[in-house]
Amino acid sequence: MLTIPKLRHSNSPLFFLMAGPCAIEGRDMALRIAEHIAGLTDKLGIPYIFKGSYRKANRTKIDSFTGIGDEKALKILKEISDTFGAPTVTDIHESHEAALAAEYVDVLQIPAFLCRQTELIAAAAKTGKAVNVKKGQFLSGNSMKFAVEKVRDTHPESQVLLTERGNSFGYGDLVVDYRNLPEMQAFGVPVIMDCTHSLQQPNQTSGVTGGKPRLIETIAKAAIAVGADGLFIETHHNPGEAKSDGANMLPLDQLEDLLKKLVRVREAIL
């Protein structure tokens, strides 16, 4: 069972980090990113979970990049875990994916748009893996108690995590209500702030999701100040060339400076 997030609550000296590329685009890029982040987090003493989607299902256009092949990408995630000793997380979109993904990763993630899908959540919980449920853009923090109950009722030993990723604001923007973090922590689970997807600008007429990556630091600092247990940050060596969600990813070379600032923020509020 995953233990790192369970040991980290809002009064902890540090937070944990879920970070990596939006999608696994290939072995070399994934290992390169994982090595860089593992080195940074080890130096700063931040517990680290590598994030990478083995397949992307929620795409605007039918010809958008979806992945390099399920088992190929999942094997890369397993190699990263074995090489760097970091737990891994990936998202699943249909119930039948849970058992396959659970063979390779430590945390199964339920996408925000699917956070009400009972069979999907139950399938993830049945694997015994930790389950990270992203709060829907259409829900309050308090509403997520039902997602927590679905996991616990299905498999009481499964660890539950919840992730805040903003709420829809009009047709093409999101806004973060930081009241959701303590409201979800009241369920006795670690709560993560998704610092990159909360800055998306979805439903663009171009068919490609936009974003405001310059505000990642603002979102992250506020989340740590409020007491988030963990942060979720998608990052890439060159977001402009990323095959998925490049518009809201953090350039990898900016991560170290950001993490150092966040450690100081956490220390200041304790």
Domain residue spans of the chain: 5-269
Q: Provide mean pLDDT across the span 99-118.
A: 97
With H, G, I as helix, E, B as strand and everything else as coil, classify residue 7.
helix
The pTM assigned to this predicted structure is: 0.91
Give 230's Cβ-side CA count (13 Å radius): 28
Instruction: Write out pLDDT tens, residues 149-202.
Output: 999 999 999 999 999 999 999 887 899 999 999 999 999 999 999 999 998 776
Instruction: Write out pLDDT tens, residues 56-81.
Output: 877 666 767 777 899 999 999 999 99
Instruction: Write out pLDDT tens, residues 213-247.
Output: 789 999 999 999 999 999 999 999 988 887 876 67
Rounded to whole angstroms, the Cα distance separating 153 from 31 reads 36
CA 132 to chain centre: 8
pLDDT score of 40: 96
* One-letter amino acid of 201: Q
Which pair of tokens denotes residue 134? Answer: 């992203």
> Which fold, 5-269?
TIM Barrel (3.20.20)
Secondary element (H or E) of residue 154: helix 145-154
Rounded to whole angstroms, the Cα distance separating 232 from 20 reads 9
Burial tier of 135 (Cβ tally within 10 Å: 0-12, 13-18, 19+): buried
> Residue 7 above 50 pLDDT?
no
> Residue 8 above 60 pLDDT?
no
